[in-house]
Amino acid sequence: MAGVAVMSVPGGRVAAGSRVRVRDNWPETRGKVHIRTPHYLRGQVGTVVRHLGDFPNPEELAFARPAQILPLYHVVFEQPVIWREGRAGDQLLVEVFGSWLDPA
Amino acid sequence: MAGPGVRIEEIEGEQLLGALAALLAAKGIVTPAEITAQIAATDTASPAQGARMVAKAWTDPAYRVLMLADGTRAAESLGIPMRGAPPLGVLEDTAGLHHLVVCTLCSCYPRAVLGYPPFWYKSAAYRARAVRDPRGVLAEWGTVLAPEVRLRIVDSTADYRWMVLPLRPPGTAGWSEERLASLVRETDMIGVTLPEVPGG
Amino acid sequence: MLSGMDLETPRAHHDLGGAAKYLCQPIDRAGHALTDFDKEVDALRQVLGAKGIMTVDELRRGIEAIPEAEYHKLSYYQRWIRSITAILLEKGVVTEGELAAALTAPFPALR
């Protein structure tokens, strides 16, 4: 898959507090894939809460292919921005792989 | 997916399981004894495990720090088997912030400390609504948050599993860990309910 | 209530977050005890995982490959056994011929 993880910190990790945008990418429209980035986050801007660790890419594991080890982040999003409804201050906290994030 | 020989979409699940299990046993890949042992091992996990962790965190500040920093180690320190389980993350509720856990993509659940996920957790309605209409979801359990409380919905999408460390309910001062643990329900540790003192 | 637009995304059918068709559906909060079938399928997947024969990621991919109408019609563990079978066939752990024979054999006792 295309892309390089966002790298704004030595060692390739995104620092807590960084603003990131989830890629507006729709691989499921182009063939058989397995994706762990929910549809409702694509293109949305959030804030990195912390780096959760590094894990093999599930998009590869799902097809028993060699899997790249990717950084996994906990990213927080404002809930009403995503749905255009809801309560101000409510948030969504989601694990997102670095390969899906660009600096915002 | 199979060719003309076997159309697995036309076969009942029970029949498929019976045939597959017999075949795997005959080939020496998975024995019936291994299945039986795995069921027994899985059955030992239940919400009582998570409840013990919550009660200890309510009474032991050092344990609370450990639990929030490393849920897996905190579980292991109480003798809960975590080997082979995904890392456990713990979400701390505060007076101003409440957490609600969902897996919109499948049914990721902290099974090592809560057991099998409940039926509703795996349902399309819960998965669809929790991220978009969370307060409506809470209302179905009769849970109403104070107006000043913000809600953080945690969509469990990847390698961690998440449980909520809820607030200790009022009216429990001086309670033993064991008695506190008896209050804590599965739903409290997913965030659709808040622990409460019965009749309190 | 819920006046917001439905997001017109080309989401996959298992990717259910916010899906409009479920927003007005109440949640079935009743307890549903697992059957022996459910527990056996669950255990089979765990054993296959522990032995490195198939990953949970492959299980999910196999579940997601079930067409939408069937996905919602099948029970949770019926989806699992469908996926497990498809993945094991795909990987050659079992062959179609073997499975066909096992299916027509006198019902094999698991328990």
Q: Does the pLDDT of residue A1 top 80, yes or no?
A: no
- Same structural domain, B36 and B72: no
- Minimum mean pLDDT range among A100-104, B2-6, C1-5: C1-5
- pLDDT for res C107: 57
The beta-carbon neighbor of A85 closest among C3, C11, C57 is C3
Q: Is residue B133 part of a domain?
A: yes
- Same structural domain, B65 and B29: no
A27-53 per-position pLDDT tens digit: 999 999 999 999 999 999 999 999 999
ipTM above 0.90, yes or no: yes
- Return the domain boundaries, chain C: 36-104
Residues paired with residue A97 on neighbouring β-strands, in sequence order: A72
Q: How distant is the Cα of A30 from the closest Cα of chain B, in angstroms?
A: 19
A38-97 per-position pLDDT tens digit: 999 999 999 999 999 999 999 999 999 999 999 999 999 999 999 999 999 999 999 999
B155-200 per-position pLDDT tens digit: 999 999 999 999 999 999 999 999 999 999 999 999 999 999 988 6
Which chains have 3+ CB pairs within 8 A of C? A, B
- Same structural domain, B25 and B107: no
- Same structural domain, B124 and B28: no
Q: Answer whether B116's CB lies under 8 Å from B63's CB.
A: no
C68-105 per-position pLDDT tens digit: 999 989 999 999 999 999 999 999 999 999 999 999 87
pTM, full prediction:
0.94
User: What is the number of structural domains in chain B?
Assistant: 2
Percent over 70 (pLDDT), chain C: 88
- pLDDT for res C4: 45
- Same structural domain, B125 and B103: yes
Low-confidence ranges of chain B (pLDDT < 70): 1-4, 200
- Same structural domain, B67 and B39: no
- Same structural domain, B180 and B127: yes
- pLDDT for res B6: 80
Distance CA B13, CA A10 (A): 51
For residue B74, give the H/E element and its range: helix B71-76
- pLDDT for res C6: 54
- Same structural domain, B97 and B123: yes
Q: In the annotation, is B156 catalytic?
A: no
- pLDDT for res B198: 87
- pLDDT for res C106: 64
CATH topology for A19-103? SH3 type barrels. (2.30.30)
User: Which residue of chain B has the CA closest to C36?
Assistant: B39
Q: Is residue B172 part of a domain?
A: yes
- Same structural domain, B38 and B51: no
Helix axes C36-50, B13-26, angle to 10 degrees: 40
The beta-carbon neighbor of A38 closest among C17, C64, C91 is C17
Check C3 against A39: CB less than 8 A apart: no
- pLDDT for res C29: 96
Check C55 against A42: CB less than 8 A apart: no
Report how far Cα A4 is from the mean position of its chain's Cα atoms. Answer: 12
Q: Is residue B129 part of a domain?
A: yes
Q: Answer whether C93's CB lies under 8 Å from C53's CB.
A: yes
Q: How distant is the Cα of C66 from the closest Cα of chain A, in angstroms?
A: 12
- pLDDT for res A12: 64
Percent over 90 (pLDDT), chain A: 88
Quote the tokens at residue A4: 């390089």
Band of pLDDT at residue C3, cut at 50, 70 and 90: very low
Q: Measured at the alpha carbon of residue B105, what is the angle toward residues B99 and B110, in degrees to the nearest 5?
A: 50
- pLDDT for res B199: 80
For residue B126, give the H/E element and its range: helix B124-129
- Same structural domain, B102 and B157: yes
Name the active-site residue from B46, B77, B107, B182.
B107
Report DSSP letters for A61-97, one per residue.
HTTT----EEEEEEEEEEHHHHHS-S-TT-EEEEEEE
- Same structural domain, B99 and B16: no
Band of pLDDT at residue C7, cut at 50, 70 and 90: low
B132: domain range? Answer: 47-190
